[in-house]
Amino acid sequence: MYASGRSYTGRSPFPRFAIVTTDPQLLAADLLHFIRDKIPLARAMELSLAHYDGDRLSLAAPLAPNVNDKGCAFGGSLASVMTLAGWALMELALQRRGEACDVFIGESTVRYLEPVWSDFRAEAQLAEGAAWATFFDTLAARGKARIDIACQVPGNGARPAATLAARFVAKRRG
């Protein structure tokens, strides 16, 4: 059973479970449970949902299970949390529109700008110039589409500690 405490019936864009709501917060909570259930790395990283408003999504991670030998956050953990935040943002956009798609990361570039010495979060939103309308028009016409998503781990000042520029691809199932 997932965060909503509901039983699931019907077809879902998330493989192997179905949901019966379009409430953004319940969808995000349920997707996070799905991620933690199906991706062992996400469970080991102790991910939690920090924020979701339909346009932006943040995942939080404690430092302890994501620490490196220097005592700061492991770069692979930063990249993984940013990738999962971007993937989850796209999954939720598809879910809210009733689209059953598989989502993949097509390409990404990570930049590490400063060490992270405490618990952290990864924030995902559409990249500048990207639009859901264009993405969904292409998906409707071709059965697959791609979109650019920008992710960051906030740093101590105005500059982020890490960034991920990624292109995610969705392909309709069946």
Place of tokens 């995902």: 124
Read off the tokens for 111.
């930049």
Exposed/middle/buried for residue 84 (C-beta within 10 Å: 0-12, 13-18, 19+) = buried
Domain boundary assignment for the chain: 24-172
Model pLDDT for residues 119-140, shown as the tens digit of each residue: 999 999 999 999 999 999 999 9
Q: Report the amino acid identity of residue 95.
A: Q
Model pLDDT for residues 31-84, shown as the tens digit of each residue: 888 888 888 899 999 999 999 999 999 999 999 999 999 999 999 999 999 999
pTM: 0.86
User: Which three-class secondary structure state does DSSP give residue 140?
Assistant: helix
Rounded to whole angstroms, the Cα distance separating 109 from 159 reads 17
Cβ contact 91:27 at 8 Å: no
CATH of domain 24-172: 3.10.129.10
